[in-house]
Structures are given as structure tokens and as C-alpha cells.
Amino acid sequence: MPWNVRLGFQIAAVCLLTLGPWSAVSAHAQSASANAPDKVQALITQLGDRNFTVRERAQSDLARMGIAAFDQLFGAMRDSDLEIARRAQYLIRSVEIEWTRPEFSEEVNAYLNRYGNLNVDNRRSRIGELSRLHTMDALSALCRISRYDVSEVLSKEAALAASIQFQGSSAEEKPQIIEIISERIEDSPRVGPSWLKIFRTSLNQPTEAIAQWEDQITEEIDLFTTRPALTSQQVVLDLVRWEVDQLREQGKQEEALATMEDVIRISAKFSESELLDLTTWFLDRKGPSVVGQLAEYHAKKSPALDGMPIGGPFGENPSLLYLLAESELVQDHIEKAELYAQAALELEPDSYDSHYLTAQALSDRGTYRWSRNEYRYVIDSFGDPMERESMLARMQLGELENDLGSPEKAAEVMWPWVEAVEKKFGPKNPLNSDRDEAISRFLARSYLFRATAAEQRGDLAAAKKDLDKALKYYEDEADVLIASYRVGQQDDMWKAKAKEHIDHTVDFYKPFVEKFQKQYEIFKENSRGDDFMGAQGSQMANYCNQYAWLVCNTYGDFDHAIASSELSLEMQPGNGAYLDTLAHCHAAKKDWASAVKYQRMAAMQIPHSGMIRQKYQEFAEKCKANNIEFETIELLPSPDSHFPETQEEGKP
């Protein structure tokens, strides 16, 4: 061999030993065609060769192949030959993935920027953000993460995030989803990509996919109990939730219940908050019987406290105990439900904040009777109605009664407090230094409740008198202004007075809203958005919503109200109250299709709000009357409807 050729080989050998295996070659430098699977597999086999030089050369060759060898190397990490497994793991962890792609949008690439340098929690957060976009390039990015993220857990989470986000895809979207998954996943042997393949199958062959999901759930639960480092509690739960939703869509509720039951055996180490989430999910998926099994499973591990009907966390946490009570109630086990509810009420007797928060949670779930009991417990615990805890409980109970269509009951709840405040401070000059804004607003809403009750009785004189008091206490309260405008339709003088107040309030909000709209556009152009706005963004979202709510329920620029409402939802996506406002804005323009669309979304977010349910039904009737097609939602009755006396009265 000529000396210069020998020298060339020597120099090459030195370079291979001194350079890192992936440092000299981009992950995309070699095409897949130059690295056929057979060639990659041959090199992987050589990683375990008895000859050190052969092993080193094979490792260097695989390093140069970059991402093209990723899939097969990943499989080799679990090779029975420990030398092959060790070297494959080293190569996999050394690969430099180019996460951002020129075909992705700026928004998606912003989430992928420096993805490989982030820790696990931050990468998980990026996966969550991508899953909320519901765009095809976001789906493509999630597929890419599932295939190439070295963390097996994150690979699975990305696959599930994509599957869950796109499970309700339209017929037009399905071919594109199938194409993206096929292109991005190819023949990856990893578990996460295999779940994406099952999801791909489910789009056109749901029955076949369900059987495959069942096998995956069994394997994942077994993996969680034997090798938890390769999965996570959240992965298992998301996998189960996906399967249950698919089964329920096909009307297979019994199979869905059986799948729910599979989760119980991995819940031994769940925290109380995790048990709350799981129990709530069981109830929302019509699995009350599974809640009872879950509670009994945990009760076996811990004896019941004195006087408590059940042991374990369900006998110690009032929120869990109320959920257990709800599970019995919806199965028409009334006595058992009341037993659990009474026991929950007696827990933590001196923690009034706990009772207050529990009452709110019960109201949100439509268990109004128990919510009222909790609010009453706080109210009755204080002799002075002006005590903070008592005042807040009265206000929330009053709002609950008003939302359920009984403003008279709402006023009755508030009036002992109103009388105590007016006795102490007097009815005049309500905004002096001795009375803060919250108290003035509560007074205004209390008079609003009484005025609305008078209006319903047809006593407009009493209604106007109470509205006048409400305006003096808090002239910018939108619902008071809306009620004044409504009453003014029957009285020209009152109408002029109401209009004066409305114009004043609109003039207050509108400059803030317009300034914020311009500000936010600048932030978005610089990719800073709501993250930059922080607490100010929350306040401005509230201003946008208040302005839109007032305008759409009275008069003014409805298009601007819609834009303002949409901006509030950009800042707080999925906010049920803000969706309700947007629906009312479209209704003001008689755009019934949009009105029912957003009211449906609001009802999904706040399913037990009486006013939101009523408006959804009203807008749905408008669509039917105008031959407008719309997507419906089943408005489920509240759990309270299972009480015999509630059924007799025909209302909550």
C-alpha cells in the first residue's frame, strides 16, 4: 500500500477516535436511500462483534448515518447482547434532532425551538401546547416528537395528545391526518408511534382499533406495575380515557365500565387530588358504580374514622365523599347518598373556607341541595351577617338561586346582610372610604335580585325603585344596566335614564378595550402574546367581556362587541362565561347559527348553569324556526333530579 494511502487511513482513524460520533454530521446529511434497513441492521450486529475495531467502526458508520438509523437503533437498545444495547443507547442519546421544520408554521416552530435542550417537564409542557392548536402542522410536530424524543414516556404522551386532540375529526380532515401520520411515523418500532398507527386505523375502522387499544391498555397497566420508568400514571390514564370515549361513542357502555375498572388496581398511590380527578372522570363518563368500587378498594387499606360511614381517603376528604354520595344518588340509592353527604358536611367543622369552596364545587356539579347546605352551614355559623365568610356565602348562594331562576329566593338570602350594612353605614354615599367596591357591588346585585323578582310579578314600580337603588350603589354593574334597559322598554322616561347610565359605562370601558386590542396585536406580531400580558391580560380579558356583555344585551356596535368578546377568549380560551357572552353577541345580530354554536360550547364548559342551559334551548329553537342546521348537545339533568321531591316539583 502506498505510503500516502496508509497515511490517509491513519489520519481517518485518529479523526474517528477524537470526534464525537454525531458532531461532524447533521442529522439530515444522509438520505434514507443510502442507509437501507439491511445495512443498518448489519452494522448494529457488528456493534456486538468480538473484535474491538469492528465494533468501533460500526459505531462510527452508524453515527454518520444520523437520524436515518434512529428507528432501528432504538429497537437495539433492548438487544439481549448488552454491548449492542449499550452502544445503541449511546448513539441514540447523542443524535441531534432538527426539531423545527421549514414546512411548519411560525407558531408550531416557536414551540419546537430548542426543544431538544429542554428538561422533561418543559418538553411535556410544549407537547401540551401543541396538542391545543388542532392544526395539521401541530399534528405533524406531535408525530415527530413521538418518533424521535428519546424519552419513552414523552413519546407516548405526544402520541396520545395527538390522538385525543384529533379524535373528533371531520370527514374532510381524516385523509390528511392519515397521510401525516403515515409520512411522519413510517415503520417506527416504538410504542408511541404504534399508538398513532392504531389511531390512524380508528378513523375508518373504529371497531378494529378498539380491540387493539384494549391490548395496549393491558400491556401498559402491567408495565406501570413492573417497570414504571417506561410509562407514567398520566399515560395509563390518558390511554384508558381514549379507549372509554371510543367505546361510549359506539354505545358499548358495559365494555367502557370494564375498562374503567382496570384503573382501580393502579390507584393505590394516587394523591387525593389525583383521586378527585379520577372519580370526577368516572362520574362524567357515567361510571357511578366504578366510583363505589374505587372507594371500597381504598377503604380496605384504611379503617373508617369514628362515626364515618367509610374508611380511606373517601371518608376523610369532603370533596371525595360528596362525589361518592353523587355516585349513589344517580343510581337512586337516596338514603346512602344522603348518609355520605351528611357525613361530608360534618367534616372539618371549623374550616369555613373549606365549606365555602366545597359548596362552589357542588354547585358546579349540579348537586344544588348539598351546595345549599354547605353555604347555609357557613352562614349559620356566624351571628353577624357582616362577617366576611357569611357575606361571601350569602352572595354565592344568592347567585346560585338567581341562576336557577329564583331571584326572589336570591334576594331573601341577601337581605339580612343588606339590612345590616345599611343600618351600619346608612343608604347614602355608598362609595365612601368606609365601604369598599366589593360591598357596593354586592349591594347593587342584591337590589337587582329583588328588582328582577318584582319585574317577574309585573310590579314595575317596585322594580324601578330597586334598580334605582342598585344604580346608586354601583352604576357600572352590567346586569343592573341591562335590567334597567329592559324595564325601560315599557317606560320612555326610564329608558332615557337607563341609556344615560349605559352610555357612561360604555364610554368607560371602550377606550380600555380599544387600547388593549391594539396592544395585543403588537404583542402577537412579536410572538409574545398572552404570556407577556400576565395578570394585566386577565384584567383586560374581563374588561373586554364586560363591555361585550353590556353592548350585546342593550345596544351599540355589535361587531365591535364580537371582536372584544373574541379577544377575551384569546386570553382565556374555553372560559364558559366568556363563551356565553360571545353567543349573546351573535344573537344580538340574529346570527342564530353562531349563537347556538358558542352557547353549546358554553354549556359544555358550565353544564349545570340554569341561565346558560336556558339560552342554549332558546337559540336552538331559533335555529329550528329558521331551518338552520346546528350541532346539538344533550343537556343532562342535574343529579338533584334523582331526589323524589325534586321530581315532583319538576325543578332543581
**Do the domain assignments include residue 529?**
yes
CA distance 281 to 288: 10
Q: How confident is the model at residue 593 (pLDDT cuts 50, 70, 90)?
A: very high
> Are the CB atoms for 272 and 284 separated by under 8 Å?
no
**pLDDT value, residue 535:** 61
DSSP H or E segment with residue 105: none
CA distance 198 to 214: 11
**Do the domain assignments include residue 597?**
yes
Nearest-CA neighbor of 288 among 328, 317, 253, 319? 328
**Do the domain assignments include residue 618?**
yes
> Are the CB atoms for 108 and 141 separated by under 8 Å?
yes
Between residues 339 and 435, which one has the greater pLDDT?
339
CATH number of the domain at 582, please: 1.25.40.10
**Do the domain assignments include residue 637?**
yes
**Do the domain assignments include residue 298?**
no
Q: How far is CA 327 from the centre of its chain?
A: 23
pLDDT at 10 over 60: no
pLDDT at 157 over 80: yes
pLDDT at 453 over 50: yes
Between residues 454 and 652, which one has the greater pLDDT?
454
Return the C-alpha torsion angle 234, 238, 240, 243, nearest 10: -170
Could you tell me the three cell numbers for 179?
397521510
Between residues 18 and 235, which one has the greater pLDDT?
235
CA distance 314 to 351: 18
Place of cell 434532532: 97
**pLDDT value, residue 53:** 81
pLDDT digits (tens, 9 = 90+) for 128-138: 889 888 889 89
**Could you give the 3-state DSSP secondary structure of residue 350?**
coil
User: Total domain count for the chain?
Assistant: 2
Average pLDDT over residues 241-249: 85
Host domain of residue 11: 3-94
Q: How confident is the model at residue 566 (pLDDT cuts 50, 70, 90)?
A: very high
**pLDDT value, residue 649:** 53
**Could you give the 3-state DSSP secondary structure of residue 189?**
coil
Other residues' Cβ atoms within 10 Å of the Cβ of residue 30 = 16
Between residues 532 and 107, which one has the greater pLDDT?
107
| Strand positions, DSSP E, 123-240 | none
Nearest-CA neighbor of 611 among 410, 398, 449, 403? 403
The pTM of the whole model exceeds 0.75: yes
Could you tell me the three cell numbers for 116?
431538544
**Could you give the 3-state DSSP secondary structure of residue 285?**
coil
Phi, psi values for residue 250, rounded to 5°: -95, 10
Which ranges of 267-309 would DSSP assign to H, the alpha helix? 272-284, 288-299
Domain boundary at 94, 117, 132, which?
94
The DSSP result for 235-257, as a single string, is HHHHHHHHHHHHHHHTT-HHHHH
CA distance 294 to 582: 40
CA distance 377 to 394: 11
Distances (CA, A) of 545 to 120, 548, 560, 597: 36, 5, 12, 18
Please give the DSSP secondary-structure letter assigned to residue 331: T
Q: How confident is the model at residue 527 (pLDDT cuts 50, 70, 90)?
A: low
171: left (phi over 0), alpha (psi -120 to 50) or beta: alpha
pLDDT digits (tens, 9 = 90+) for 249-261: 888 899 899 989 9
**Of the ranges 17-31, 48-62, 466-480, 635-649, which is most confident?**
466-480
Find all residues with CB under 8 Å of 136, minimum gap 6, and list them. Answer: 173, 176, 177, 180
Q: How confident is the model at residue 210 (pLDDT cuts 50, 70, 90)?
A: confident
Domain boundary at 41, 63, 94, which?
94
**pLDDT value, residue 94:** 66
CA distance 530 to 568: 11
Q: How confident is the model at residue 650 (pLDDT cuts 50, 70, 90)?
A: low
CA distance 17 to 56: 9
pLDDT digits (tens, 9 = 90+) for 165-209: 888 778 888 899 999 999 888 888 888 899 999 999 988 888 888
pLDDT digits (tens, 9 = 90+) for 271-330: 899 999 999 999 999 999 999 999 999 998 888 888 889 999 999 999 999 999 999 999
pLDDT at 466 over 80: yes
**pLDDT value, residue 599:** 97
**Could you give the 3-state DSSP secondary structure of residue 651?**
coil
**Do the domain assignments include residue 309?**
no
Distances (CA, A) of 512 to 114, 236, 515, 544, 551: 37, 46, 5, 8, 15
Of the ranges 363-367, 431-435, 490-494, which one carries the lowest mean pLDDT score?
Answer: 431-435
**Do the domain assignments include residue 37?**
yes
Phi, psi values for residue 119, rounded to 5°: -80, 175
Between residues 8 and 262, which one has the greater pLDDT?
262
Other residues' Cβ atoms within 10 Å of the Cβ of residue 481 = 26
pLDDT digits (tens, 9 = 90+) for 596-640: 999 999 999 999 999 999 999 999 999 999 999 999 998 989 999
Could you tell me the three cell numbers for 224?
406501570
Q: Average model confidence (pLDDT) for the chain?
A: 85
Please give the DSSP secondary-structure letter assigned to residue 636: P
CA atoms within 13 A on the CB side of 568: 27
Longest dimension (CA), the chain: 113
Could you tell me the three cell numbers for 246?
371510543
Q: How far is CA 636 from the centre of its chain?
A: 20
pLDDT at 581 over 50: yes
Q: How confident is the model at residue 8 (pLDDT cuts 50, 70, 90)?
A: very low
Of the ranges 102-111, 277-286, 533-542, 564-573, which one carries the lowest mean pLDDT score?
Answer: 533-542
pLDDT digits (tens, 9 = 90+) for 351-380: 999 999 999 999 999 999 999 999 999 999
The identity of residue 263, as a single letter, is V
Q: How confident is the model at residue 526 (pLDDT cuts 50, 70, 90)?
A: low
**Could you give the 3-state DSSP secondary structure of residue 67?**
helix
Q: How many residues does the chain have?
A: 652
Domain boundary at 75, 94, 113, which?
94
CA distance 113 to 137: 15
Average pLDDT over residues 478-495: 92
Q: How confident is the model at residue 30 (pLDDT cuts 50, 70, 90)?
A: very low
Q: How confident is the model at residue 117 (pLDDT cuts 50, 70, 90)?
A: confident
**Do the domain assignments include residue 82?**
yes
